[in-house]
Chains A and B, each alone.
Chain A
Amino acid sequence: MLKKRPHLLWLLGPYVLYLAALPLADRVHPTVLGLPFLFFWLLLATLLTPVAVFLAWRGDRARGRA
Protein backbone atom coordinates (compact mmCIF):
# COMPACT_ATOMS: atom_id res chain seq x y z
CA MET A 1 0.00 0.00 0.00
CA LEU A 2 2.75 2.45 0.95
CA LYS A 3 4.66 1.71 -2.26
CA LYS A 4 1.77 2.95 -4.34
CA ARG A 5 0.67 5.62 -1.87
CA PRO A 6 3.78 7.03 -0.15
CA HIS A 7 1.85 10.19 0.73
CA LEU A 8 -0.01 8.13 3.36
CA LEU A 9 3.10 8.60 5.50
CA TRP A 10 1.64 12.02 6.31
CA LEU A 11 -0.83 10.16 8.51
CA LEU A 12 2.03 9.37 10.89
CA GLY A 13 2.49 13.14 11.37
CA PRO A 14 0.41 13.28 14.57
CA TYR A 15 2.34 10.32 16.01
CA VAL A 16 5.59 12.21 15.48
CA LEU A 17 4.22 15.48 16.86
CA TYR A 18 2.42 14.12 19.92
CA LEU A 19 4.47 11.06 20.83
CA ALA A 20 7.96 11.01 19.29
CA ALA A 21 8.59 14.69 19.99
CA LEU A 22 7.25 14.56 23.54
CA PRO A 23 10.62 14.30 25.36
CA LEU A 24 11.67 17.58 23.70
CA ALA A 25 8.36 19.32 24.40
CA ASP A 26 7.84 18.29 28.02
CA ARG A 27 8.83 21.65 29.57
CA VAL A 28 7.27 24.82 30.94
CA HIS A 29 9.73 27.32 29.41
CA PRO A 30 9.94 29.05 27.04
CA THR A 31 6.32 30.14 27.19
CA VAL A 32 4.74 31.04 23.86
CA LEU A 33 2.05 33.75 23.98
CA GLY A 34 1.88 33.04 27.70
CA LEU A 35 1.22 29.32 27.14
CA PRO A 36 3.55 26.88 28.91
CA PHE A 37 5.64 25.22 26.21
CA LEU A 38 4.09 21.72 26.53
CA PHE A 39 0.58 23.09 26.11
CA PHE A 40 1.64 25.31 23.23
CA TRP A 41 3.25 22.30 21.54
CA LEU A 42 0.24 20.02 21.94
CA LEU A 43 -2.11 22.77 20.75
CA LEU A 44 0.10 23.24 17.71
CA ALA A 45 0.05 19.47 17.09
CA THR A 46 -3.76 19.52 17.32
CA LEU A 47 -3.94 22.28 14.72
CA LEU A 48 -1.41 20.54 12.43
CA THR A 49 -3.13 17.13 12.51
CA PRO A 50 -5.88 18.14 10.06
CA VAL A 51 -3.18 19.58 7.81
CA ALA A 52 -1.31 16.27 7.79
CA VAL A 53 -4.45 14.32 6.92
CA PHE A 54 -5.27 16.87 4.25
CA LEU A 55 -1.84 16.34 2.66
CA ALA A 56 -2.48 12.58 2.53
CA TRP A 57 -5.85 13.24 0.91
CA ARG A 58 -4.32 15.64 -1.59
CA GLY A 59 -1.78 12.97 -2.51
CA ASP A 60 -4.62 10.52 -3.16
CA ARG A 61 -6.44 13.12 -5.24
CA ALA A 62 -3.39 13.83 -7.36
CA ARG A 63 -3.07 10.12 -8.12
CA GLY A 64 -6.80 9.77 -8.76
CA ARG A 65 -7.23 7.40 -5.82
CA ALA A 66 -9.84 9.30 -3.80
Chain B
Amino acid sequence: MSGNAAVASAIFGVFMLLTVALGLLAVRGHGRGGGLTEWSVGGRSLGTVFIWVLMAGEGYTSFSYLGAAGWGYNYGAPVLYVVAYLSCGYAIGYVVGPTLWAYARRHGLVSITDMVAHRYGRPWVGALVAVLATVCLLPYIQLQITGMGVVVSTISYGAISLNWAYFIAFAVTTTFVVVSGLRGSAWVSVLKDVLVIGTLGFLAVYVPLHYFGGYGPFLDRMVAEKPAWLTFSGHGGSGMGGGWFVTTSFLNSLTVVIFPTTVAGYLGARNADALRRNAILLPFYNVLLFVPMLLGMAAIFVVPGLTGAGSNLALFKLVVDSLPAWAVGVIGVAGALSSIVPMAVFMLVIGTMWGRSVLGAIPRLAQRPERQTAAARIVVVGAGALALLLTYTAPNTLVRLSLISYEGMAQLVPMILLGLMWRRLTLWGALSGLVVGGALVCALVFTEHDPVWGVNAGALALVANVLVALAVSWWGPRPGPAEAARPDDEVLARDPGRDPEPADAPAGGVVSGRG
Protein backbone atom coordinates (compact mmCIF):
# COMPACT_ATOMS: atom_id res chain seq x y z
CA MET B 1 0.00 0.00 0.00
CA SER B 2 1.48 3.37 -0.95
CA GLY B 3 1.79 6.23 1.51
CA ASN B 4 -1.16 8.07 0.02
CA ALA B 5 -3.36 4.99 0.14
CA ALA B 6 -2.44 4.36 3.77
CA VAL B 7 -3.24 7.91 4.86
CA ALA B 8 -6.56 8.09 3.04
CA SER B 9 -7.63 4.59 4.14
CA ALA B 10 -6.72 5.33 7.75
CA ILE B 11 -8.81 8.51 7.75
CA PHE B 12 -11.68 6.63 6.19
CA GLY B 13 -11.40 3.84 8.79
CA VAL B 14 -11.37 6.24 11.74
CA PHE B 15 -14.45 8.04 10.46
CA MET B 16 -16.34 4.79 9.88
CA LEU B 17 -15.69 3.80 13.51
CA LEU B 18 -16.81 7.26 14.59
CA THR B 19 -19.99 6.82 12.53
CA VAL B 20 -20.89 3.53 14.17
CA ALA B 21 -20.09 4.94 17.63
CA LEU B 22 -22.23 8.02 17.01
CA GLY B 23 -25.09 5.93 15.68
CA LEU B 24 -24.98 3.64 18.71
CA LEU B 25 -24.63 6.48 21.23
CA ALA B 26 -27.78 8.11 19.88
CA VAL B 27 -29.89 5.46 21.55
CA ARG B 28 -28.57 6.20 25.04
CA GLY B 29 -31.43 6.95 27.38
CA HIS B 30 -34.02 5.98 24.74
CA GLY B 31 -33.34 2.26 24.45
CA ARG B 32 -36.06 0.72 26.57
CA GLY B 33 -39.77 1.04 25.97
CA GLY B 34 -41.15 3.19 23.20
CA GLY B 35 -41.24 0.18 20.85
CA LEU B 36 -41.74 0.75 17.15
CA THR B 37 -42.54 4.45 17.61
CA GLU B 38 -39.20 5.10 19.30
CA TRP B 39 -37.22 3.12 16.74
CA SER B 40 -39.06 4.06 13.54
CA VAL B 41 -39.83 7.72 14.11
CA GLY B 42 -37.52 8.67 16.99
CA GLY B 43 -40.39 8.77 19.47
CA ARG B 44 -41.79 11.78 17.49
CA SER B 45 -39.41 14.01 19.41
CA LEU B 46 -36.96 15.60 16.95
CA GLY B 47 -36.67 19.39 16.85
CA THR B 48 -36.13 21.68 13.85
CA VAL B 49 -32.35 21.18 13.72
CA PHE B 50 -32.43 17.39 13.80
CA ILE B 51 -35.23 17.23 11.26
CA TRP B 52 -33.24 19.55 9.03
CA VAL B 53 -30.02 17.52 9.14
CA LEU B 54 -31.95 14.29 8.74
CA MET B 55 -34.00 15.39 5.75
CA ALA B 56 -31.07 17.17 4.14
CA GLY B 57 -29.13 13.98 4.77
CA GLU B 58 -31.71 11.87 2.96
CA GLY B 59 -31.99 14.21 -0.01
CA TYR B 60 -28.26 14.49 -0.56
CA THR B 61 -27.24 10.96 -1.51
CA SER B 62 -24.24 9.47 -3.23
CA PHE B 63 -26.07 10.37 -6.44
CA SER B 64 -25.25 13.98 -5.68
CA TYR B 65 -21.51 13.22 -5.68
CA LEU B 66 -21.43 10.71 -8.50
CA GLY B 67 -24.50 11.05 -10.69
CA ALA B 68 -24.87 14.82 -10.49
CA ALA B 69 -21.23 15.32 -11.45
CA GLY B 70 -21.55 12.64 -14.11
CA TRP B 71 -24.70 14.16 -15.64
CA GLY B 72 -23.06 17.59 -15.48
CA TYR B 73 -20.10 16.13 -17.33
CA ASN B 74 -22.16 14.29 -19.94
CA TYR B 75 -25.19 16.53 -20.48
CA GLY B 76 -24.97 19.76 -18.45
CA ALA B 77 -28.23 21.61 -17.80
CA PRO B 78 -30.72 18.69 -17.51
CA VAL B 79 -29.18 17.63 -14.18
CA LEU B 80 -30.63 20.78 -12.62
CA TYR B 81 -34.00 19.01 -12.40
CA VAL B 82 -32.71 17.69 -9.06
CA VAL B 83 -32.53 21.20 -7.65
CA ALA B 84 -35.89 22.13 -9.15
CA TYR B 85 -37.88 19.19 -7.82
CA LEU B 86 -36.33 19.28 -4.36
CA SER B 87 -37.05 23.01 -4.02
CA CYS B 88 -40.65 22.65 -5.19
CA GLY B 89 -41.16 19.55 -3.05
CA TYR B 90 -39.75 21.18 0.08
CA ALA B 91 -42.08 24.14 -0.47
CA ILE B 92 -45.28 22.09 -0.65
CA GLY B 93 -43.88 20.04 2.23
CA TYR B 94 -44.80 23.11 4.27
CA VAL B 95 -48.41 21.93 4.06
CA VAL B 96 -48.03 18.20 3.44
CA GLY B 97 -45.52 17.59 6.24
CA PRO B 98 -47.64 18.91 9.14
CA THR B 99 -50.74 17.29 7.63
CA LEU B 100 -49.22 13.80 7.53
CA TRP B 101 -47.51 14.34 10.88
CA ALA B 102 -50.78 15.24 12.60
CA TYR B 103 -52.62 12.30 11.01
CA ALA B 104 -49.96 9.81 12.12
CA ARG B 105 -49.77 11.22 15.59
CA ARG B 106 -53.51 11.27 16.11
CA HIS B 107 -53.96 7.67 15.03
CA GLY B 108 -50.63 6.26 16.28
CA LEU B 109 -49.25 5.48 12.81
CA VAL B 110 -45.56 4.99 12.03
CA SER B 111 -45.24 4.81 8.25
CA ILE B 112 -46.87 5.76 4.99
CA THR B 113 -48.28 2.25 4.55
CA ASP B 114 -49.76 2.43 8.00
CA MET B 115 -51.56 5.60 6.90
CA VAL B 116 -52.92 3.93 3.78
CA ALA B 117 -54.22 1.00 5.83
CA HIS B 118 -55.91 3.44 8.21
CA ARG B 119 -57.35 5.69 5.50
CA TYR B 120 -58.99 2.85 3.59
CA GLY B 121 -59.75 0.77 6.68
CA ARG B 122 -58.12 -2.35 5.20
CA PRO B 123 -54.84 -3.74 6.60
CA TRP B 124 -54.15 -5.69 3.40
CA VAL B 125 -53.93 -2.45 1.37
CA GLY B 126 -51.14 -1.34 3.69
CA ALA B 127 -49.39 -4.66 3.16
CA LEU B 128 -49.77 -4.39 -0.61
CA VAL B 129 -48.37 -0.86 -0.72
CA ALA B 130 -45.51 -1.94 1.58
CA VAL B 131 -44.53 -4.68 -0.86
CA LEU B 132 -44.69 -2.30 -3.85
CA ALA B 133 -42.73 0.37 -2.01
CA THR B 134 -40.09 -2.18 -1.04
CA VAL B 135 -39.64 -3.18 -4.66
CA CYS B 136 -39.06 0.51 -5.45
CA LEU B 137 -36.74 1.10 -2.48
CA LEU B 138 -34.44 -1.94 -2.75
CA PRO B 139 -32.73 -0.60 -5.88
CA TYR B 140 -31.93 2.58 -3.97
CA ILE B 141 -30.17 0.60 -1.28
CA GLN B 142 -28.15 -1.14 -3.93
CA LEU B 143 -27.35 2.17 -5.63
CA GLN B 144 -26.03 3.49 -2.32
CA ILE B 145 -23.96 0.35 -1.77
CA THR B 146 -22.39 0.52 -5.23
CA GLY B 147 -22.00 4.31 -4.96
CA MET B 148 -20.12 3.97 -1.72
CA GLY B 149 -18.01 1.13 -3.16
CA VAL B 150 -16.88 3.30 -6.06
CA VAL B 151 -16.10 6.28 -3.82
CA VAL B 152 -14.17 4.24 -1.26
CA SER B 153 -12.09 2.35 -3.77
CA THR B 154 -11.24 5.60 -5.59
CA ILE B 155 -10.27 7.61 -2.53
CA SER B 156 -8.22 4.76 -1.07
CA TYR B 157 -6.22 4.82 -4.35
CA GLY B 158 -7.47 1.29 -4.96
CA ALA B 159 -6.26 -0.07 -1.60
CA ILE B 160 -9.80 -1.02 -0.52
CA SER B 161 -11.38 -3.24 -3.16
CA LEU B 162 -14.91 -2.69 -4.47
CA ASN B 163 -16.19 -5.86 -2.81
CA TRP B 164 -14.83 -4.90 0.59
CA ALA B 165 -16.19 -1.39 0.23
CA TYR B 166 -19.66 -2.81 -0.52
CA PHE B 167 -19.46 -4.91 2.60
CA ILE B 168 -18.31 -2.00 4.77
CA ALA B 169 -21.28 0.04 3.53
CA PHE B 170 -23.67 -2.72 4.56
CA ALA B 171 -22.02 -3.50 7.90
CA VAL B 172 -21.68 0.09 9.15
CA THR B 173 -25.23 1.01 8.21
CA THR B 174 -26.93 -2.11 9.52
CA THR B 175 -25.15 -1.94 12.87
CA PHE B 176 -26.47 1.40 13.91
CA VAL B 177 -29.87 1.24 12.23
CA VAL B 178 -30.81 -1.99 13.96
CA VAL B 179 -29.84 -0.58 17.33
CA SER B 180 -30.88 3.05 17.22
CA GLY B 181 -33.27 3.52 14.31
CA LEU B 182 -34.24 6.99 13.11
CA ARG B 183 -32.54 8.74 16.00
CA GLY B 184 -29.22 7.11 15.13
CA SER B 185 -29.64 8.19 11.51
CA ALA B 186 -30.26 11.76 12.64
CA TRP B 187 -27.09 11.78 14.74
CA VAL B 188 -24.97 10.38 11.93
CA SER B 189 -26.54 12.99 9.64
CA VAL B 190 -24.99 15.70 11.78
CA LEU B 191 -21.51 14.37 11.10
CA LYS B 192 -22.39 13.94 7.46
CA ASP B 193 -23.75 17.44 6.97
CA VAL B 194 -20.75 19.07 8.63
CA LEU B 195 -18.42 17.17 6.30
CA VAL B 196 -20.54 17.64 3.18
CA ILE B 197 -21.01 21.37 3.68
CA GLY B 198 -17.34 21.84 4.61
CA THR B 199 -15.85 19.82 1.76
CA LEU B 200 -18.21 21.04 -0.98
CA GLY B 201 -17.79 24.65 0.16
CA PHE B 202 -14.04 24.17 -0.07
CA LEU B 203 -14.14 22.44 -3.46
CA ALA B 204 -16.45 25.09 -4.90
CA VAL B 205 -13.72 27.67 -4.27
CA TYR B 206 -10.62 25.55 -4.74
CA VAL B 207 -11.23 23.72 -8.02
CA PRO B 208 -11.91 26.76 -10.25
CA LEU B 209 -8.95 28.59 -8.67
CA HIS B 210 -6.59 25.66 -9.00
CA TYR B 211 -7.39 24.72 -12.58
CA PHE B 212 -8.65 27.92 -14.17
CA GLY B 213 -7.40 30.79 -12.02
CA GLY B 214 -10.89 31.64 -10.72
CA TYR B 215 -14.58 31.52 -11.57
CA GLY B 216 -14.39 34.25 -14.19
CA PRO B 217 -12.01 32.37 -16.51
CA PHE B 218 -13.78 29.03 -15.88
CA LEU B 219 -17.22 30.38 -16.73
CA ASP B 220 -15.95 32.38 -19.69
CA ARG B 221 -14.39 29.24 -21.10
CA MET B 222 -17.58 27.29 -20.49
CA VAL B 223 -19.70 29.90 -22.31
CA ALA B 224 -17.23 30.24 -25.18
CA GLU B 225 -16.41 26.58 -25.77
CA LYS B 226 -19.25 24.44 -24.37
CA PRO B 227 -22.53 26.33 -24.85
CA ALA B 228 -24.32 23.04 -25.63
CA TRP B 229 -24.05 22.11 -21.94
CA LEU B 230 -25.61 25.36 -20.76
CA THR B 231 -29.20 25.16 -22.05
CA PHE B 232 -31.78 22.43 -22.68
CA SER B 233 -31.69 19.80 -23.88
CA GLY B 234 -28.05 19.69 -22.87
CA HIS B 235 -25.13 18.14 -24.67
CA GLY B 236 -25.20 14.95 -26.68
CA GLY B 237 -28.82 14.44 -27.77
CA SER B 238 -30.03 13.34 -24.35
CA GLY B 239 -33.69 13.80 -25.30
CA MET B 240 -34.07 15.70 -22.03
CA GLY B 241 -35.45 19.02 -23.19
CA GLY B 242 -37.43 21.71 -21.43
CA GLY B 243 -40.64 19.63 -21.55
CA TRP B 244 -38.90 16.73 -19.89
CA PHE B 245 -37.41 19.05 -17.25
CA VAL B 246 -40.74 20.62 -16.36
CA THR B 247 -42.73 17.36 -16.21
CA THR B 248 -40.01 15.48 -14.34
CA SER B 249 -39.53 18.23 -11.78
CA PHE B 250 -43.28 18.54 -11.26
CA LEU B 251 -43.82 14.79 -10.89
CA ASN B 252 -40.85 14.33 -8.56
CA SER B 253 -41.85 17.30 -6.42
CA LEU B 254 -45.15 15.53 -5.69
CA THR B 255 -43.45 12.19 -5.19
CA VAL B 256 -40.78 13.40 -2.81
CA VAL B 257 -43.33 14.62 -0.25
CA ILE B 258 -44.89 11.14 0.04
CA PHE B 259 -41.66 9.22 -0.44
CA PRO B 260 -41.57 6.76 2.47
CA THR B 261 -38.20 8.05 3.69
CA THR B 262 -39.31 11.69 3.60
CA VAL B 263 -42.40 10.73 5.54
CA ALA B 264 -40.24 8.97 8.15
CA GLY B 265 -38.53 12.33 8.64
CA TYR B 266 -41.88 14.15 8.94
CA LEU B 267 -43.16 11.70 11.52
CA GLY B 268 -40.02 12.11 13.62
CA ALA B 269 -40.82 15.78 14.27
CA ARG B 270 -41.81 16.86 17.76
CA ASN B 271 -44.42 19.30 16.49
CA ALA B 272 -45.89 20.74 13.32
CA ASP B 273 -44.01 24.01 13.57
CA ALA B 274 -40.65 22.19 13.52
CA LEU B 275 -41.70 20.92 10.07
CA ARG B 276 -42.79 24.36 8.89
CA ARG B 277 -39.50 25.92 9.96
CA ASN B 278 -37.75 23.03 8.30
CA ALA B 279 -39.60 23.74 5.04
CA ILE B 280 -38.15 27.26 5.13
CA LEU B 281 -34.59 26.15 5.89
CA LEU B 282 -34.31 22.99 3.82
CA PRO B 283 -34.27 24.64 0.36
CA PHE B 284 -31.02 26.42 1.28
CA TYR B 285 -29.31 23.04 1.20
CA ASN B 286 -30.05 22.82 -2.52
CA VAL B 287 -27.48 25.52 -3.23
CA LEU B 288 -24.91 22.82 -2.46
CA LEU B 289 -26.24 20.71 -5.36
CA PHE B 290 -24.85 23.24 -7.82
CA VAL B 291 -21.32 22.40 -6.68
CA PRO B 292 -20.88 18.80 -7.89
CA MET B 293 -22.63 19.74 -11.11
CA LEU B 294 -20.25 22.66 -11.72
CA LEU B 295 -17.29 20.47 -10.81
CA GLY B 296 -18.54 17.85 -13.25
CA MET B 297 -18.53 20.52 -15.96
CA ALA B 298 -15.05 21.66 -14.88
CA ALA B 299 -13.91 18.07 -15.33
CA ILE B 300 -14.84 18.29 -19.03
CA PHE B 301 -11.72 20.43 -19.45
CA VAL B 302 -9.45 18.71 -16.92
CA VAL B 303 -10.14 15.01 -17.52
CA PRO B 304 -11.76 14.82 -20.96
CA GLY B 305 -12.85 11.53 -22.45
CA LEU B 306 -14.58 9.84 -19.50
CA THR B 307 -17.39 7.65 -20.79
CA GLY B 308 -20.13 5.44 -19.39
CA ALA B 309 -19.83 4.72 -15.67
CA GLY B 310 -16.44 6.46 -15.67
CA SER B 311 -18.14 9.85 -15.98
CA ASN B 312 -19.67 9.31 -12.55
CA LEU B 313 -16.18 9.70 -11.14
CA ALA B 314 -15.74 13.14 -12.71
CA LEU B 315 -15.69 14.86 -9.31
CA PHE B 316 -13.45 12.39 -7.54
CA LYS B 317 -10.96 12.39 -10.43
CA LEU B 318 -10.47 16.10 -9.86
CA VAL B 319 -10.12 15.57 -6.12
CA VAL B 320 -7.53 12.79 -6.37
CA ASP B 321 -5.68 14.71 -9.07
CA SER B 322 -5.36 17.99 -7.19
CA LEU B 323 -5.34 17.39 -3.41
CA PRO B 324 -3.10 15.70 -0.81
CA ALA B 325 -4.07 12.26 0.51
CA TRP B 326 -5.55 13.41 3.81
CA ALA B 327 -7.92 15.81 2.03
CA VAL B 328 -8.88 13.08 -0.41
CA GLY B 329 -9.68 10.88 2.60
CA VAL B 330 -11.91 13.49 4.23
CA ILE B 331 -13.81 14.22 1.01
CA GLY B 332 -14.20 10.49 0.50
CA VAL B 333 -15.71 10.16 3.96
CA ALA B 334 -18.24 12.88 3.10
CA GLY B 335 -19.10 10.93 -0.06
CA ALA B 336 -19.37 7.65 1.84
CA LEU B 337 -21.62 9.16 4.51
CA SER B 338 -23.83 10.45 1.69
CA SER B 339 -24.46 6.78 0.94
CA ILE B 340 -24.74 5.61 4.51
CA VAL B 341 -27.36 8.06 5.79
CA PRO B 342 -29.93 7.59 3.01
CA MET B 343 -29.31 3.85 3.02
CA ALA B 344 -29.93 3.78 6.75
CA VAL B 345 -33.29 5.52 6.35
CA PHE B 346 -34.27 3.34 3.38
CA MET B 347 -33.59 0.19 5.40
CA LEU B 348 -35.34 1.61 8.45
CA VAL B 349 -38.42 2.42 6.40
CA ILE B 350 -38.54 -1.03 4.82
CA GLY B 351 -38.23 -2.57 8.30
CA THR B 352 -41.00 -0.35 9.64
CA MET B 353 -43.38 -1.01 6.75
CA TRP B 354 -42.90 -4.77 7.04
CA GLY B 355 -42.95 -4.90 10.82
CA ARG B 356 -46.22 -3.00 11.02
CA SER B 357 -48.07 -3.30 7.73
CA VAL B 358 -47.10 -6.70 6.34
CA LEU B 359 -46.24 -8.86 9.34
CA GLY B 360 -48.57 -6.82 11.56
CA ALA B 361 -51.41 -7.90 9.27
CA ILE B 362 -50.77 -11.50 10.31
CA PRO B 363 -53.20 -12.22 13.14
CA ARG B 364 -50.58 -13.78 15.43
CA LEU B 365 -48.53 -10.57 15.31
CA ALA B 366 -51.38 -8.07 15.11
CA GLN B 367 -51.71 -7.42 18.83
CA ARG B 368 -48.05 -7.94 19.71
CA PRO B 369 -46.19 -4.64 19.20
CA GLU B 370 -42.96 -5.94 20.75
CA ARG B 371 -42.85 -8.74 18.21
CA GLN B 372 -43.47 -6.25 15.40
CA THR B 373 -40.44 -4.26 16.55
CA ALA B 374 -38.26 -7.37 16.60
CA ALA B 375 -39.58 -8.40 13.19
CA ALA B 376 -38.85 -4.93 11.80
CA ARG B 377 -35.21 -5.22 12.87
CA ILE B 378 -34.86 -8.64 11.30
CA VAL B 379 -36.34 -7.28 8.07
CA VAL B 380 -33.75 -4.46 8.09
CA VAL B 381 -30.90 -6.95 8.17
CA GLY B 382 -32.65 -9.12 5.59
CA ALA B 383 -33.31 -6.25 3.18
CA GLY B 384 -29.74 -4.97 3.50
CA ALA B 385 -28.32 -8.45 3.03
CA LEU B 386 -30.50 -9.04 -0.03
CA ALA B 387 -29.35 -5.77 -1.60
CA LEU B 388 -25.72 -6.67 -0.82
CA LEU B 389 -26.13 -10.16 -2.24
CA LEU B 390 -27.70 -8.82 -5.43
CA THR B 391 -24.87 -6.30 -5.71
CA TYR B 392 -22.38 -9.17 -5.74
CA THR B 393 -24.29 -11.66 -7.84
CA ALA B 394 -26.73 -9.87 -10.13
CA PRO B 395 -25.85 -6.17 -10.15
CA ASN B 396 -28.00 -5.45 -13.21
CA THR B 397 -31.31 -6.73 -11.84
CA LEU B 398 -31.73 -3.88 -9.41
CA VAL B 399 -30.30 -1.32 -11.79
CA ARG B 400 -33.14 -2.17 -14.16
CA LEU B 401 -35.63 -1.90 -11.34
CA SER B 402 -34.21 1.45 -10.29
CA LEU B 403 -35.32 2.83 -13.64
CA ILE B 404 -38.93 2.56 -12.50
CA SER B 405 -38.33 3.35 -8.82
CA TYR B 406 -39.18 7.01 -8.72
CA GLU B 407 -41.81 6.98 -11.43
CA GLY B 408 -43.33 3.87 -9.85
CA MET B 409 -43.48 5.46 -6.41
CA ALA B 410 -45.13 8.49 -8.02
CA GLN B 411 -48.13 6.30 -8.81
CA LEU B 412 -48.92 6.22 -5.07
CA VAL B 413 -49.51 9.99 -5.03
CA PRO B 414 -53.28 9.87 -5.79
CA MET B 415 -53.91 7.03 -3.33
CA ILE B 416 -52.10 8.86 -0.54
CA LEU B 417 -52.33 12.62 -1.10
CA LEU B 418 -55.68 12.78 -2.85
CA GLY B 419 -57.07 10.02 -0.64
CA LEU B 420 -56.18 11.80 2.58
CA MET B 421 -57.76 15.06 1.45
CA TRP B 422 -60.80 13.90 -0.45
CA ARG B 423 -63.31 11.50 1.05
CA ARG B 424 -64.96 10.42 -2.18
CA LEU B 425 -61.88 8.69 -3.53
CA THR B 426 -62.76 5.05 -2.95
CA LEU B 427 -60.43 2.17 -2.29
CA TRP B 428 -61.29 0.64 -5.66
CA GLY B 429 -60.71 3.94 -7.40
CA ALA B 430 -57.30 4.37 -5.80
CA LEU B 431 -56.30 0.77 -6.55
CA SER B 432 -57.47 0.89 -10.18
CA GLY B 433 -55.51 4.10 -10.72
CA LEU B 434 -52.43 2.53 -9.16
CA VAL B 435 -52.66 -0.55 -11.38
CA VAL B 436 -53.11 1.47 -14.57
CA GLY B 437 -50.40 3.99 -13.67
CA GLY B 438 -47.96 1.30 -12.58
CA ALA B 439 -48.53 -0.81 -15.68
CA LEU B 440 -48.06 2.22 -17.93
CA VAL B 441 -44.77 3.14 -16.23
CA CYS B 442 -43.43 -0.40 -16.61
CA ALA B 443 -44.55 -0.62 -20.22
CA LEU B 444 -43.03 2.71 -21.26
CA VAL B 445 -39.79 2.43 -19.29
CA PHE B 446 -38.96 -1.17 -20.14
CA THR B 447 -39.62 -0.57 -23.85
CA GLU B 448 -37.30 2.46 -23.58
CA HIS B 449 -39.97 5.02 -24.27
CA ASP B 450 -38.97 7.33 -21.45
CA PRO B 451 -39.13 10.23 -22.08
CA VAL B 452 -42.14 9.74 -24.34
CA TRP B 453 -43.03 12.65 -26.69
CA GLY B 454 -40.54 14.76 -24.74
CA VAL B 455 -42.45 14.20 -21.52
CA ASN B 456 -41.57 12.17 -18.42
CA ALA B 457 -43.26 8.75 -18.76
CA GLY B 458 -44.17 8.70 -15.07
CA ALA B 459 -45.99 12.02 -15.42
CA LEU B 460 -48.04 10.67 -18.31
CA ALA B 461 -48.82 7.56 -16.26
CA LEU B 462 -49.86 9.74 -13.34
CA VAL B 463 -52.41 11.55 -15.50
CA ALA B 464 -53.91 8.18 -16.53
CA ASN B 465 -53.76 7.07 -12.90
CA VAL B 466 -55.75 10.08 -11.66
CA LEU B 467 -58.34 9.85 -14.44
CA VAL B 468 -58.97 6.16 -13.74
CA ALA B 469 -59.07 6.75 -9.99
CA LEU B 470 -61.69 9.49 -10.42
CA ALA B 471 -63.77 7.52 -12.89
CA VAL B 472 -63.87 4.37 -10.77
CA SER B 473 -64.59 6.40 -7.64
CA TRP B 474 -67.57 8.05 -9.32
CA TRP B 475 -69.04 5.10 -11.17
CA GLY B 476 -67.45 2.10 -9.45
CA PRO B 477 -68.48 0.16 -6.33
CA ARG B 478 -69.52 2.21 -3.28
CA PRO B 479 -67.84 1.61 0.09
CA GLY B 480 -69.77 -0.62 2.49
CA PRO B 481 -71.91 0.78 5.35
CA ALA B 482 -69.18 0.29 7.99
CA GLU B 483 -66.71 2.28 5.91
CA ALA B 484 -69.24 4.97 5.04
CA ALA B 485 -70.14 5.38 8.72
CA ARG B 486 -66.63 6.44 9.75
CA PRO B 487 -66.57 10.19 10.45
CA ASP B 488 -64.45 12.46 8.21
CA ASP B 489 -62.15 13.30 11.13
CA GLU B 490 -61.26 9.64 11.43
CA VAL B 491 -60.54 9.13 7.75
CA LEU B 492 -59.13 12.39 6.39
CA ALA B 493 -56.00 14.34 7.27
CA ARG B 494 -55.75 18.08 7.63
CA ASP B 495 -53.18 20.70 8.49
CA PRO B 496 -53.19 20.90 12.29
CA GLY B 497 -52.65 24.66 12.50
CA ARG B 498 -51.12 26.10 15.63
CA ASP B 499 -49.36 23.69 17.96
CA PRO B 500 -50.57 23.60 21.52
CA GLU B 501 -47.84 25.03 23.75
CA PRO B 502 -46.57 22.19 25.90
CA ALA B 503 -44.27 23.23 28.73
CA ASP B 504 -41.38 21.12 27.42
CA ALA B 505 -41.18 22.60 23.95
CA PRO B 506 -39.37 25.94 23.97
CA ALA B 507 -40.62 28.42 21.38
CA GLY B 508 -37.45 28.26 19.27
CA GLY B 509 -37.89 24.57 18.54
CA VAL B 510 -34.09 24.52 18.07
CA VAL B 511 -33.28 21.91 20.67
CA SER B 512 -31.48 18.64 20.55
CA GLY B 513 -33.23 15.43 19.57
CA ARG B 514 -33.53 14.33 23.16
CA GLY B 515 -37.18 14.56 23.96
Contact = CB atoms under 8 A, between A and B. Distances in A.
B273 interface: yes
Interface in B219-257: 219-220, 222-223, 227, 230-232, 242, 245-246, 249-250, 253
Given A49-B90, A53-B91, A64 B280 contact: no
Given A38-B77, A66-B276, A66-B498, A53 B231 contact: no
> Top 5 closest A-B pairs, CB basis?
A34-B219, A49-B283, A18-B84, A36-B230, A49-B87
A65 interface: yes
Nearest to B293: A39
Interface in A18-53: 18-19, 22-23, 26-28, 31, 34-36, 38-39, 42-43, 45-47, 49-50, 52-53
A64 B287 contact: no
Nearest to A20: B246
17 contacts: A19-B249, A28-B227, A31-B219, A34-B219, A36-B231, A38-B77, A42-B84, A43-B287, A46-B283, A47-B287, A49-B87, A49-B91, A49-B283, A57-B277, A57-B279, A65-B497, A66-B273
Contacts of B227: 28, 36
Given A34-B219, A46-B83, A52-B91, A19 B246 contact: yes
Q: Which of A1, A14, A64 has the most CB of B within 10 A?
A: A14
Given A14-B91, A46-B283, 12 more contacts: A1-B95, A8-B95, A15-B250, A22-B245, A26-B242, A28-B231, A38-B230, A49-B88, A53-B90, A53-B280, A54-B280, A57-B276
A32 to B, nearest CB: 10
A11 B279 CA distance: 10
Contacts of A27: 231
A22 B272 contact: no
Contacts of B131: none
Contact of B246 (A22, A45, A49, A54): A22
Contacts of B253: 15
A54 to B, nearest CB: 5
Given A19-B249, A34-B215, A50-B284, A65 B231 contact: no
A54 B495 CA distance: 17
Contact of A66 (B87, B232, B272): B272
Contact of B231 (A26, A43, A46, A56): A26
A46 B287 contact: yes
Contacts of B436: none
A46 B87 contact: yes
B286 interface: yes
A34 B220 contact: yes
B502 to A, nearest CB: 16
Q: Which of B90, B230, B245, B284 has the most CB of A within 10 A?
A: B230
Contacts of A36: 219, 222-223, 227, 230-231
Contacts of A14: 84, 87-88, 91, 283
B498 A18 contact: no
Given A18-B84, A49-B283, A65-B497, A11 B91 contact: yes
B510 interface: no
A19 B88 contact: yes
B94 interface: yes
Contacts of B219: 31, 34-36
Contacts of A1: 95, 495
A57 B352 CA distance: 32
Contacts of B232: 22, 26, 38
B443 interface: no
B283 A50 contact: yes
Given A19-B250, A46-B87, A52-B91, A28 B283 contact: no
A13 B91 contact: yes
A11 B98 CA distance: 14
Contacts of B495: 1
Contacts of A39: 77, 80, 230, 290
A50 B280 contact: yes
Interface string A55-66: 011001000111
Q: Which of A19, A45, A52, A65 has the most CB of B within 10 A?
A: A19
Interface string B41-70: 000000000000000000000000000000
A56 B94 contact: yes
A57 B220 CA distance: 40
B281 interface: yes
Given A11-B95, A57-B94, A50 B281 contact: yes
B216 interface: yes
B184 to A, nearest CB: 28
B92 interface: yes
Nearest to B214: A34
A18 B283 CA distance: 13
Contacts of B249: 18-19
A1 B498 CA distance: 15
A15 B86 CA distance: 11
